Amino acid sequence: MRKQWKRISCLILAIVTTALTIGCGKKEAKSIEADMSGLGVVSQWTPLDSLPIPKNQNLLTGIGDLSKEAIGKRPVAVMINNVKDALPQYGIMEADVIFELPVEGNLTRLMALYADYTKVPDICAIRSCRYYFPAIAKGFDAFYIHWGSDQTILNYLKSIQPDKYDGLTNDGGLFGRDKERRKSGYALEHTGVFKGTQFASVVQNSGRRTDLAEGKKETAFNFCDMGTKVTPTGEPCNVLDVRFGAARAKLTYNAETGTYFKEINGQPHVDGRSGEQLSFTNVFVLETSISVRDSVGHKKIDWAGSSSAKGYYVSNGVVQEIRWSKAGGKETSYLKFYDENGNELVINRGKSYIAYTYAGKTSWE
């Protein structure tokens, strides 16, 4: 009798194991019943199909790393200086998405997005607003952090009303200067600090809305299934070169990590605190209309795109031509990416780098 039950147990285990293996990768779990009536045994189980979406899914990366307090809450978008004299910045390694766009003189400025408002680090060097950055941030329903702004766009800011904190008025006491950087020779304008580690406490006590708006509670991008990986349809891309004019970004693929490591003007782009080089699972280059709009050299940039706006998606060692837009040209719309057939692009889960630049200024090998 003991031998018979041993055989039955082994048979049940074998069937369960097979069902679990076959189920992996499918989208829905199905209840399976094994009827072994000849043995007098009925076994029921639910195999693992695809990996489940974690409750603490980061809406910017698709990875389950949000704190419990940040689930369903708004992200934070921070303006960061990106000129040579301000390097290295710090607090940027923790960003989930980094945007890079041209400013005066074809230098660039960064906007870093952090999905978890309770885990924002202290960040330096904070810089001023240009109208196209809050237009992008608005689509993520993000708090917008900056230090001053281009004075000619104040009316525009009033019209779109970004929920912002401004270092110029030290909103919430969240801004200061890095005295050690100042002592070491950095100019004053390159020492602005956003005290991100205090942000959650300040915003919770301020009465400002922390819950994501309706329509912003799903992932910001169309991510692939958990536990899977996609490869773009296109050419091999081991090195991507993005030229903004006076600034340049190069991203080199590392097959071991499956990410692209970023350089700025020929040097590794590192975080000044961690010493780590920035790297991204997903890289987007969005070609757009960029012109000079005033005597100071401020830029006019088409941040909205269209059904014909061209761009590139780079991931997993391959580059693919895409189209991109913010639906209806609205600030409140998500930035969307599409393949050549007009289908929304499926991208890998992980951090993203998104650059807006001139047409024809991107190459790869």
Q: Report d(CA 145, CA 123) in Å as an integer.
A: 11
Average of pLDDT values for 155-175? 95
Output the pLDDT for position 151: 85
Residue range 235-364 forms a domain whose CATH class is alpha beta
Q: Is 118 helix (H, G, I), strand (E, B) or coil?
A: coil
Instruction: Please name the amino acid found at residue 70.
Output: A
Output the pLDDT for position 217: 96
Output the pLDDT for position 241: 98
pLDDT beyond 90 at 163: yes
User: Which pair of structure tokens corresponds to residue 261?
Assistant: 């490591």
pLDDT in tens, 68-78: 999 999 999 99
Q: Report d(CA 145, CA 323) in Å as an integer.
A: 29
pLDDT beyond 80 at 172: yes
Confidence of residue 345 (pLDDT cuts 50, 70, 90): very high
pLDDT in tens, 251-287: 999 999 999 999 999 999 999 999 999 999 999 999 9
Strands 32-36 and 41-45: antiparallel
* CB of 350 closer than 8 Å to CB of 63: yes
Number of H helices, E strands in the chain: 5, 24
Instruction: Please name the amino acid found at residue 259.
Output: T
Q: Report d(CA 318, CA 185) in Å as an integer.
A: 42
pLDDT in tens, 296-320: 999 999 999 999 999 999 999 999 9
* CB of 49 closer than 8 Å to CB of 165: no
Q: Report d(CA 202, CA 189) in Å as an integer.
A: 24
Instruction: Please name the amino acid found at residue 225.
Output: D
CA 227 vs CA 25, 205, 256, 289: distances in Å:
8, 38, 17, 37
Output the pLDDT for position 14: 43
* CB of 293 closer than 8 Å to CB of 103: no
Average of pLDDT values for 177-184? 98
> SS3 helix, strand, coil % of the chain, rounded to 5?
20, 35, 45
Q: Report d(CA 82, CA 100) in Å as an integer.
A: 9
Q: At residue 65, what are phi and psi to the nearest 5 degrees?
A: -135, 15
pLDDT in tens, 137-152: 999 999 999 999 988 8
pLDDT beyond 60 at 6: no
> For residue 12, how far is the Cα from the chain centroid?
45
pLDDT beyond 60 at 208: yes
The yes or no reply on domain 68-206 and CATH 3.40.630.30 is no
Q: Report d(CA 344, CA 341) in Å as an integer.
A: 9
User: Which pair of structure tokens corresponds to residue 34?
Assistant: 């094994």
Residues in the chain: 365
Output the pLDDT for position 344: 98
Q: For residue 125, say if its preceding peptide bond is cis, omega within 30 degrees of 0.
A: yes
Instruction: Please name the amino acid found at residue 66.
Output: L
| 232 closest CA partner among 268, 263, 256, 260 | 260
User: Which pair of structure tokens corresponds to residue 32?
Assistant: 């399976």
Q: Report d(CA 210, CA 116) in Å as an integer.
A: 11
Residues of the chain within CATH 3.50.90.10 domain(s) are: 68-206, 235-364
Q: Report d(CA 334, CA 304) in Å as an integer.
A: 10
CA 322 vs CA 32, 87, 135, 238, 273: distances in Å:
41, 32, 21, 18, 35
Strands 352-357 and 282-287: parallel
Contacts of 38 (CB under 8 A, 6+ apart): none
Output the pLDDT for position 152: 87
Output the pLDDT for position 32: 33
pTM more than 0.75: yes
pLDDT in tens, 37-91: 343 333 333 333 569 999 999 999 999 999 999 999 999 999 999 999 999 999 9
Indicate the range of 31-40, 80-89, 163-172, 203-212 predicted with least confidence: 31-40
Output the pLDDT for position 46: 32
